[in-house]
């Protein structure tokens, strides 16, 4: 099956989903406009279309900021565990936003020593890269290796302390219908979690390489983030999605770089 992706601009809401590569120039936090169209339908968008009724009674501006994650209080001197008993919480702790001069994306740790994975296209054209943790702290990023074929990049976050990390699972051991989660900087909202279903491992006929297909919603900023199973193991790196085909809008068809390509290229750096 040939993987086809086209842009669809006919529906205002779909303007939020218009990029082939999901790393986009979104600020931390999201700003949207809400209005009621002439057809009586409520619309949300990050921009105001020319035909919208922009009267003050109709047009509303909404700003959604990052959530504040509670910090567990521990008695002084208590040991700190890097891995949580909750696999989703561990994934959140192991995931960070990537900010550069020209866009945002997501990365995640694969070891406790600061080594991390993202998509190559998240780094393309982006200088002065920083990792933004869920506590708001920022750390510089060093690029160690990029892989054009698989759209993968190995990076190092200069954080000077042990970090949580995500273990890797081969997606070929998954069963269609298994539940999965995508975690990432969706629309500039850090550590956004969406869930869906694992569809299967398909082949891109143009490259003969495999891709993981899944149904969890993803948006600009999700690129480079982990796709995990219900045990918190990464089965893929969120890369792209189909938004329309032959002018017909498509939803729930996302693709990730299989995690066994991480093992193939960067096994030495895995915990």
Which active-site residues does the annotation give? 121, 151, 223
Q: How far apart are CA 22 and CA 9, in angstroms?
A: 16
- For 109-154, give the secondary structure using H, E and C: ECCCCCEEEECHHHHCCCCCCEEECCCCCEEEEEEEEEECCCCEEE
What tokens appear for 161 in the block? 């302390």
Q: What angle do CA 70, 197, 123 make, to 5 degrees?
A: 65
Beta bridge partners of 145: 154
Edge to edge, what strands does the sheet with 60-64 contain? Answer: 42-45, 30-36, 60-64
C-alpha 34, offset from chain centre = 25
Cα distance between residue 156 and residue 116, in whole Å: 6
Three-class SS state of 199:
strand
d(CA 269, CA 71): 29
- In the three-class reduction of DSSP (H, G, I as helix; E, B as strand; rest coil), residue 173 is classed as helix
Q: Assign 89 to helix, strand or coil.
A: helix
- Token pair belonging to 189: 């909202």
Q: Chain-centre distance of CA 79, in angstroms? A: 31
């Amino acid at each position: 099956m040939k993987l086809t992706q086209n842009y669809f601009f006919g529906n205002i809401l779909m303007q939020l989903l218009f990029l082939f590569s999901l790393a986009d120039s979104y600020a931390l936090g999201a700003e949207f406009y809400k209005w009621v169209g002439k057809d009586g339908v409520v619309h949300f968008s990050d921009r105001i279309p020319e035909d919208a009724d922009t009267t003050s009674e109709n047009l509303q501006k909404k700003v959604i900021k990052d959530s504040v994650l509670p910090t567990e209080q521990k008695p002084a001197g208590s040991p700190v565990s890097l891995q949580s008993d909750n696999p989703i919480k561990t994934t959140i702790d192991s995931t960070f936003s990537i900010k550069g001069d020209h866009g945002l994306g997501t990365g995640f740790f694969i070891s406790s020593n600061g080594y991390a994975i993202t998509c190559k296209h998240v780094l393309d054209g982006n200088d002065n890269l920083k990792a933004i943790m869920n506590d708001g702290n920022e750390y510089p990023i060093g690029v160690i290796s990029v892989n054009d074929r698989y759209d993968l990049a190995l990076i190092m976050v200069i954080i000077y302390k042990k970090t949580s990390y995500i273990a890797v699972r081969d997606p070929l051991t998954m069963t269609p219908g298994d539940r999965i989660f995508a975690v990432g900087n969706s629309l500039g909202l850090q550590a956004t979690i969406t869930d869906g279903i694992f569809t299967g491992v398909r082949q891109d006929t143009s490259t003969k390489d495999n891709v993981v297909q899944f149904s969890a919603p993803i948006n600009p900023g999700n690129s480079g983030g982990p796709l995990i199973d219900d045990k918190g193991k990464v089965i893929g790196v969120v890369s792209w999605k189909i938004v329309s085909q032959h002018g017909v809008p498509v939803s729930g068809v996302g693709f990730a770089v299989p995690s066994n390509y991480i093992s193939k290229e960067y096994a030495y750096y895995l915990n």
